[in-house]
A and B are shown apart, each in its own frame.
Chain A
């Protein structure tokens, strides 16, 4: 049975429960959804001994305060905010014991935009089409299909596993469990693949794409980022027969501007797909906020696959080390 775990005492503007997203419903036009920074969400779960698909809290940069209602193990990943207990910073990327009654506040900015919080056992959430992710369009999943607000109370989903119980005991006793997790560098370089309609760009646009900086505009949300910069000339009309798109697809509009599709992306689109953000760097992109600048670097599919596999192996390695320390 789930028990109250976290009382939201102060809530920012776009904070929701998310997991690894929905599978099997893209053909019905339902977006995959899930955490914007998928790697950070999976890592947060790994650090507290959860499976990677448990619901985590995606906290967008703005002041938050949480009261912990029972002893638990938490981990913070991603960026944007520095969690603190009594004005003392809690390190990101490490499991932490937090006792009942503790108040965690997140107000100091950090590089990045989205902070992830996982708890041992995961957060309880409404399941919709096989996922706990909050779908703001269908108002389903997560907590009543909406972003969180002040006075919400989140519950723990599963009982702690034996591993999680010993993790809690060890951390509670004051022992440190240092996991060798490398922080993600917040670089401006976003690696991409050429998209199916890359050839819609003129030769001049090909060069501009790689050699220019683009700025994330305020017209950006969980569905997509609109970016601004030098217009990219196309050699034909920017319309295609509506075709599949996915998270990370870079679309070119008639005005020569680009839309980067993010977690809540639609499933089909009629703009040319000139590029595709590498899965590994979608995490970096999820940490960008309006006014941040980015630059694209084209890589090969093989390189992108290697980056992805490397990231997945990193998660597996971390899970293995945690296990070996307990």
Chain B
């Protein structure tokens, strides 16, 4: 059954839109379509960008050979590809990535206030945050910022009314049904409940991004001492 619709975002981007709700099932369909197009790309294809409920397929219009409209030609190709039965068992390879997080209030400026608003103790908030493995729906907002979900209902919060002008790099934060990690010091409006010493972005490596859409992310609690030790070792490896 066809579970998506097409629309053109521009002359060079076709959107595949799936059911308009945030769910693991819908996102699996998005990632499955991405994988199939990447495995069997059409001439002119440049990249497929996943989001919660849609996939943006970028291409170079001048490389599409057709006597018809360029977009409808690409649409037809994608439609044919995605409605073909899956021949071999195409296992989606989802990686499980562990991210150490320090929940000490010295690096978690909103921990106490967020727990208070949720009528939880800080320990309860932390253990609920640690209790699930999260799905990485997409990267965006800034390069490498992971949108992870969904949070346990007990720790759903509003964004901060006044976003911070600068959030420290590595801040682990929650807002709505999502949790995320700020890869860089940027403005940010989410509630910061922890910090990771791990660098999500390493400019000297060939693929500088630690995470990608479709990953499973598991947070692991570390102490403040471990946090500082790991922070200084990542700094050292960056300098060398």
Contacts and interface: CB of A to CB of B under 8 A. Distances in A.
Interface string A242-268: 111111110000000000000000111
A137 B143 contact: yes
Interface string A223-248: 00000000000000000011111111
A27 B49 contact: yes
Nearest to A138: B143
Nearest to A196: B7
A172 to B, nearest CB: 34
A288 B56 CA distance: 28
A24 interface: yes
A23 B47 contact: yes
Given A27-B139, A29-B142, A244-B13, A301 B8 contact: yes
B10 A246 contact: yes
Interface string B102-120: 0000000000000000000
Contacts of A28: 139, 143-144, 209, 212
Question: Which of A28, A129, A193, A305 has the most chain B CB atoms inside 10 A of its CB?
Answer: A28
Question: Which of B20, B49, B69, B144 has the most chain A CB atoms inside 10 A of its CB?
Answer: B49
**Band of interface residues on B:** 35 or more
B10 A137 contact: no
A140 B184 CA distance: 14
Nearest to B57: A244
A219 interface: no
Nearest to B210: A28
A243 B10 contact: no
Interface stretch (A72-80, A85-93, A207-215, A271-279): A271-279
**Band of interface residues on A:** 35 or more
B51 A309 contact: no
Contact of B53 (A243, A246, A247, A279): A243
Given A241-B52, A305-B71, A308-B61, A248 B10 contact: yes
Interface of B: 7-13, 15, 17, 20-22, 46-56, 58, 61-62, 69-71, 138-145, 147, 184, 203, 208-209, 212-213
Given A24-B46, A266-B140, 19 more contacts: A23-B47, A27-B50, A27-B212, A28-B209, A29-B144, A193-B8, A193-B10, A195-B9, A241-B53, A243-B15, A246-B58, A247-B10, A267-B49, A276-B10, A301-B8, A301-B11, A301-B69, A308-B12, A309-B61
